Amino acid sequence: MLFSSSFSGFIPVTTALNAPISGIDPVSSFPTITNFVQTLSLTSPETVVTGVYIPNTFAYGVVQQPAGSPGFVSAENDVLTQFGMAGSYGTTGLLAHNNLAGTSFSSVHPGQTIVAVQGDGTLEYYHVYAVEKYQALSPNSPYSNFRSLDIPGQDLSATELFMHVYAQPGNLVLQTCIANGDQQSWGRLFILAEPISEFVPQPVQIEPGC
Question: Does this model's pTM top 0.75?
Answer: yes
| Residues 174-200: tens digit of each pLDDT | 999 999 988 888 999 999 999 997 555
pLDDT at residue number 67: 86
| Residues 79-91: tens digit of each pLDDT | 999 999 999 999 9
pLDDT at residue number 184: 84
Give alpha helix (H) positions in the chain: 33-38, 84-87, 158-166
The answer, yes or no, to whether residue 73 has pLDDT greater than 50, is yes
Q: Is 33 exposed, middle or buried (0-12, 13-18, 19+ CB in 10 A)?
A: middle
Q: Is 15 exposed, middle or buried (0-12, 13-18, 19+ CB in 10 A)?
A: middle
10-22 average pLDDT score: 31
pLDDT at residue number 165: 97
The answer, yes or no, to whether residue 27 has pLDDT greater than 90, is no
To the nearest whole number, what is the mean pLDDT of the chain?
Answer: 83
Across the strands, what pairs with 209? Answer: none
Domains with residue ranges and CATH for the chain: 5-15+26-196 (2.40.260.10)
